[in-house]
Amino acid sequence: MAPITQLSQLDPNGTYSYADYLTWQLEESVELIKGKIMAMSPAPNRKHQSISGNLFLHLGNYFKRKPCGVFAAPFDVKLYDRRKSLLTNREAFSVVQPDLCLICDKNKLTEQGCDGAPDWIIEVLSPGNSRKEVRLKYDLYEESGVSEYWLVFPYEQIVQQFVLDEQGKYQLRGLYPGNEVAIPHLFPDLQIDLNDVFAE
């Protein structure tokens, strides 16, 4: 069977597994959300990369000698419905590449990336992100059990902070404008000065 090297070789309405994803040799970056191919936005712009880099440096310094690790895209995160046990690659249908993710359970780390929900995911939106994409990821992260999820809006300079409640549903915990200090729910002693994050 010929290798998959172009998106045009795949059925946009098909359903694919993580095992399929591992065989593709695409130049474009794609994610799988519940078996559906999601082409990622073109290369992030300078503002996106600046914000992502500033956050990575801040988190990297804080977690330097701590058990949790910070990882930046491209980095595969394979996700499952947390109500089900871990499945085989053939039965896993979601793999994403968050801008930043924090993983405290080293057993989830593999050669390819992360097998299961990170503790904290940060997504920096790009102009190409659609509302549908944002909603799909929100739902996916919620059902997969990602404890804390931040959405960063570069042009509005706002950070939305969502935290899972006892029922496993996201609640908006914080809405931080760019001139404030954002504090993760999971790490209340970590203070992130958003003036520094949004500075170019």
pTM of the model: 0.90
Q: How far apart are CA 172 and CA 139, in angstroms?
A: 14
Q: Give the span between the Cα atoms of 108 and 120, in whole angstroms.
A: 14
In the chain, what is the straight-line distance between the N-terminal and C-terminal CA atoms, in Å? 48
Q: What is the DSSP letter of 20?
A: H
pLDDT in tens, 50-86: 999 999 999 999 999 999 999 999 999 999 876 655 5
- pLDDT at position 171, please? 98
Beta pairing class for 170-177 and 30-33: unpaired
pLDDT-derived band at 42, boundaries 50, 70, 90? low
Architecture of domain 43-76+94-198: Alpha-Beta Complex (3.90)
How far apart CA 82 and CA 85 sit, in angstroms, is 7
How is the chain split into domains, by residue range?
43-76+94-198
Cα-trace Rg, the chain: 17
